[in-house]
C-alpha cells in the first residue's frame, strides 16, 4: 500500500531523514521505533504531505504521492493522528469529531461513525458537549484517534499515541490500535514504547539518526541484541 524509497527530508540545515526506505503492506500494522530525534515524526509528516521531500519517492497504492500535499493525502484515505493531543481546545468533543469528517458528505454513514466512536470511547460520549481543552490527557488522545477515524481512513499514521498516558490507559490505547488494524485499516505506528509496539506489530523498522538500520518482524526485533540493549532496557 505504501512504499517509500530513499526519502530525504529536512528542516533548513537539519537533515532529518537521510534516505529512508520502507514498505507498509495493506492490512498490516507496521511499527517504526527509535530514539528521540531519530526522524519518526518527520517520516509520518512526509507521508501525510506536511514536510516536503528533498529527494526520493513515496508511492501510495502505486501512485506517486511524493509531492501530493496534505489535502490530497487526506482525500486518498490517509489520516494522521499527531503527537501530543493536538485537538481543537475551544471546540466541543462532537465538533472535534466533525472536523475529522469535513471531507465527507453529511449522510447516514456519518451518524453511524459517531455512534461507533462513542461506543468505542464511552468517555467521549459522556463528554460530547465539553470543550476538548478541558479533557484529561488520555481523553484528548482518544479524541484525536476518534477524529482520525471519522475520515474513514485506509491508512492511519499514529505518532506516539501512548505519550504521557497512565499505564492502564496505555494498554487500552494499544488494544484500540490493534482493533483498528483488525477492522481492516492499515496502520503505521510510531512509538517510543518500543516493546509494546513491537509486540503488537506485523512488521517493524528501527530508525536511527534519519536512517533505517533494522527491519523485521516484531519478534525478530525484540530478540535482537542491539534493540534489546538500546531500546528495551536490556
Query: Which chain residues interact with ligand ATP by CB under 6 A?
Result: 11, 14, 16, 34, 36-42, 192
The nearest distance, CB 40 to ligand ATP, in angstroms, is 3
The nearest distance, CB 231 to ligand ATP, in angstroms, is 12
The nearest distance, CB 74 to ligand ATP, in angstroms, is 20
At a CB cut-off of 8 Å and minimum separation 6, what does 136 contact?
Answer: none
For residues 33 and 124, which CB has a smaller minimum distance to ligand ATP in the complex?
A: 33
The nearest distance, CB 230 to ligand ATP, in angstroms, is 14
The rounded distance, in Å, linking the Cα atoms of 137 and 69 is 29
For residues 35 and 98, which CB has a smaller minimum distance to ligand ATP in the complex?
A: 35
For residues 45 and 147, which CB has a smaller minimum distance to ligand ATP in the complex?
A: 45
The rounded distance, in Å, linking the Cα atoms of 171 and 162 is 9
The rounded distance, in Å, linking the Cα atoms of 83 and 19 is 23
Q: Which residues on adjacent β-strands are paired with residue 211? A: 208
Could you tell me the three cell numbers for 62? 502505486
Could you tell me the three cell numbers for 136? 484529561
For residues 113 and 159, which CB has a smaller minimum distance to ligand ATP in the complex?
A: 159
Amino acid at each position: 500500500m505504501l512504499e517509500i524509497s530513499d526519502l530525504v527530508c529536512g528542516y533548513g540545515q537539519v537533515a532529518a531523514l537521510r534516505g529512508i526506505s520502507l514498505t507498509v503492506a495493506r492490512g498490516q500494522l507496521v511499527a517504526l521505533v527509535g530514539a528521540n530525534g531519530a526522524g519518526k515524526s518527520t517520516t509520518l509528516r512526509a507521508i501525510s504531505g506536511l514536510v516536503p521531500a528533498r529527494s526520493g519517492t513515496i508511492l501510495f497504492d502505486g501512485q506517486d504521492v511524493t509531492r501530493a500535499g496534505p489535502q490530497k493525502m487526506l482525500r486518498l484515505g490517509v489520516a494522521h493522528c499527531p503527537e501530543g493531543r493536538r485537538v481543537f481546545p475551544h471546540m466541543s468533543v462532537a465538533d472535534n469529531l466533525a472536523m475529522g469528517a469535513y471531507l465527507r458528505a453529511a449522510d447516514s454513514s456519518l451518524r453511524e461513525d459517531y455512534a461507533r466512536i462513542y461506543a468505542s470511547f464511552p468517555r467521549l460520549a459522556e463528554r460530547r458537549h465539553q470543550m476538548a481543552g478541558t479533557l484529561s490527557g488520555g481523553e484528548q488522545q482518544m479524541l484525536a484517534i476518534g477524529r482520525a477515524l471519522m475520515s474513514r481512513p485506509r491508512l492511519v499514521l499514529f505518532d506516539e499515541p501512548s505519550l504521557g498516558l497512565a499505564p492502564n490507559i496505555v494498554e487500552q490505547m494499544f488494544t484500540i490500535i490493534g482493533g483498528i488494524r483488525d477492522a481492516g485499516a492499515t496502520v503505521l505506528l510510531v512509538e517510543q514504547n518500543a516493546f509494546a509496539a513491537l509486540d503488537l506489530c506485523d512488521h517493524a523498522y528501527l530508525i536511527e539518526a534519519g536512517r533505517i538500520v533494522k527491519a523485521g518482524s516484531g519478534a525478530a526485533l525484540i530478540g535482537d541484541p542491539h534493540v534489546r540493549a538500546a531500546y528495551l532496557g536490556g
